[in-house]
Amino acid sequence: MQKTTSPKALGQILKSTRKQKGLNQYQAGNLVGITQAMVSRIERGESNARIDTLFRLLAALEMEMIVRPREKTPNLSEGDNW
Q: How many domains does the chain have?
A: 1
* Residue 30: domain span: 7-63
Q: What is the Cα 51 distance to its own chain's centre?
A: 11
Q: Which of 36, 7, 11, 38 is nearest to 23 (CA)?
A: 36
Please indicate, yes or no, if residue 75 is contained in any of the structural domains. Answer: no
Q: What is the pLDDT along the chain (82 residues), one digit of tens a residue?
A: 788 888 999 999 999 999 999 999 999 999 999 999 999 999 999 988 999 999 999 999 999 999 888 777 666 655 555 5
The answer, as to whether pTM is greater than 0.85, is no
Phi and psi at residue 68, to the nearest 5°: -150, 165
Question: Which of the 8 DSSP states describes residue 74?
Answer: S
CATH number (domain holding residue 49): 1.10.260.40
Task: Assign 3-class secondary structure to 6-60.
Answer: CHHHHHHHHHHHHHHCCCCHHHHHHHHCCCHHHHHHHHHCCCCCCHHHHHHHHHH
